[in-house]
Amino acid sequence: MAFNNHRETVGENIEVEFIFPIHEIDSFNGEELKVFVEGILGDVSSVVVNFSDITYLNSSGLRELIQLFKVLKEKDKSLIFSNVSDDIYKIFVHTNLNRLFTIVSDDDEARAKLVK
């Protein structure tokens, strides 16, 4: 598995899956992440992907993140990215994906955004 994860309840009954990808998001582990999330959709209302350990993101990884966003949006679920490094954030800005994705500074800010 190319990521770690844990689930917690935020606020009043908001089930959130926190996912921590390891080192990179590319076509292989991006697909693995998407398949995992599809398998838990019935159990959670939101997914937070913590980028704190991500050092590499390529165009295939971006494609997988967009697909993940679409899967969650179709089910009226939230997707939040946290702890995105400056280098990875620049990729989102250059591709205008910072307008599509919700990007916050850390997991605490993600929790606060979900309970609003």
- Which band of pLDDT confidence, cut at 50, 70 and 90, is reported for residue 97? very high
pTM here is 0.95
Which candidate, 38, 36, 29, places its Cα nearest to that of 72? 38
pLDDT in tens, 8-27: 999 889 999 999 999 999 98
Non-local (6+) Cβ contacts of 69 within 8 A are 79, 100, 101
Which residue ranges make up each domain of the chain? 3-115
Q: Is 21 exposed, middle or buried (0-12, 13-18, 19+ CB in 10 A)?
A: buried
Q: How far apart are CA 104 and CA 2, in angstroms?
A: 22
pLDDT in tens, 63-94: 999 999 999 999 999 999 999 999 999 999 99
Q: Which CATH number fits domain 3-115: 3.10.20.340, 3.30.750.24, 1.10.3720.10, 3.30.70.270?
A: 3.30.750.24
For residue 1, pLDDT beyond 60: no
